[in-house]
Amino acid sequence: MAMRIGAFELNEPVPDLIDPHVFAMIRPWVDVGSVGTLTLNRLERYLGSKELGKLSRPGTFFDFTRYRPTMRNVDGRREVKIPNSIIRYAKTENGPDYLFFHLLEPHSNGEDYTDSILKLVNHFNVKRYCRVGAMYDAVPHTRPLLVTGSLGSVPQIRPVTNFKVRRSTYQGPTTIMNLLSEGVESSEIESINFMVHLPQYVQLEEDYAGTSRMIEVLSSVYEGIPADLAPVRRGQRQYRELNSTVERNSELKDLIRQMEAYYDAQLDSEESKSEEPATTADLSPEIERFLSELGERLDTDREE
């Protein structure tokens, strides 16, 4: 038995959730280093989540030459696993309960897709929508990772270093998934978001330092998320292993020193003047050229 809400098919019996909060990640748009995915997976294991549902016809929204199905053997039989957007939930003793949205960015019918997600949000009378993710930036791996985001009227339980509340002023091409954020805000649901800034020259498939920072920040807002849930040692080990590579590359070593100086100058500026940090346009020509060339190489790798 299954219940339909928009394009989603939910498993029966559909649970009654108390004042649910959503944790959402959107892949691949803002999930570099799989930080959003790893964060949700860790929260789900801790809270004992269960699958609630998924899109009934994911091919309506996704191009399967870009999100490839995978073949696997199950009990001696070959099965095709189709990429999909998965919804999970977890109940707590006294609320709030939680919904976990593992969302793939759509390739077509984006308005119908976001409308279906909003129907889920409204059906469960969601109280708060929290998007988590990560992006590449001109930051060194030798400094605490910067986290930016917005809290609206949501208070922090305790302060966290290197977390900056910052409203985006970006204008230009974006993702259709921002329709979801607009829909949540127009429904007067609490909307918050957190973005970890990762070193662009690292490019880890699973960045545990970034995941650790994300959980640290979430624990400063949610009483039910312990800070020790963060994979701190695993992240430290990943970045520590980079040092030997850096030592063998004098050009990269010099660039990281410049990034460190730029990073420290940003923090000094914010502490002394409470100003918005400088943009990457203030980087030295060497760093700008390095990041530009790196971006071109990454684009070439993706095309291949």
Segment 19-58, tens digit of pLDDT:
999 999 999 999 999 999 999 999 999 999 999 999 999 9
- Name the strand (E) or helix (H) holding 132: strand 128-137
The pLDDT of residue 297 is 44
The pLDDT of residue 270 is 64
Q: Are 129 and 22 in contact (CB under 8 A)?
A: yes
What pTM, to 2 d.p., does this model score?
0.86
Mean pLDDT of the chain: 87
If one compares 49 and 288, the residue with the highest pLDDT of the two is 49
The pLDDT of residue 4 is 95
N-terminal to C-terminal alpha carbon distance within the chain = 43
Q: Rounded CA gap, 35 and 263, in Å?
A: 21
- Residue 299's pLDDT band (cuts 50, 70, 90): very low
Neighbours of 78 (CB within 10 A): 8
The topology under which CATH files domain 2-232 is Rossmann fold (3.40.50)
- When mean pLDDT is compared over 111-120, 131-140, 146-155, 177-186, the highest value belongs to 111-120
Location of each CATH 3.40.50.10900 domain in the chain: 2-232
Tokens of 61: 């929204």
Segment 151-183, tens digit of pLDDT:
989 999 999 988 988 777 778 888 999 999 999
Residue 130 CB-density burial (10 A; 0-12 exposed, 13-18 middle, 19+ buried): buried
The pLDDT of residue 138 is 87
The pLDDT of residue 111 is 97
- List the one residue out of 179, 193, 187, 145 whose CA is nearest residue 25: 193
> Would you list the DSSP string of 29-98?
TTBGGGHHHHHHHHHHHHHT-EEEEEES-GGGT--TTTS--EEEEETTEEEEEPP--EEEEE--SSS--E
- Residue 293's pLDDT band (cuts 50, 70, 90): low
The pLDDT of residue 251 is 85
- List the one residue out of 4, 29, 7 whose CA is nearest residue 107: 29
- Of 88-97, 142-151, 163-172, least confident by mean pLDDT is 163-172
Q: Rounded CA gap, 84 and 104, in Å?
A: 7
Largest CA distance in the chain: 65
Tokens of 48: 């004992």
Q: Rounded CA gap, 211 and 89, in Å?
A: 20
If one compares 293 and 238, the residue with the highest pLDDT of the two is 238
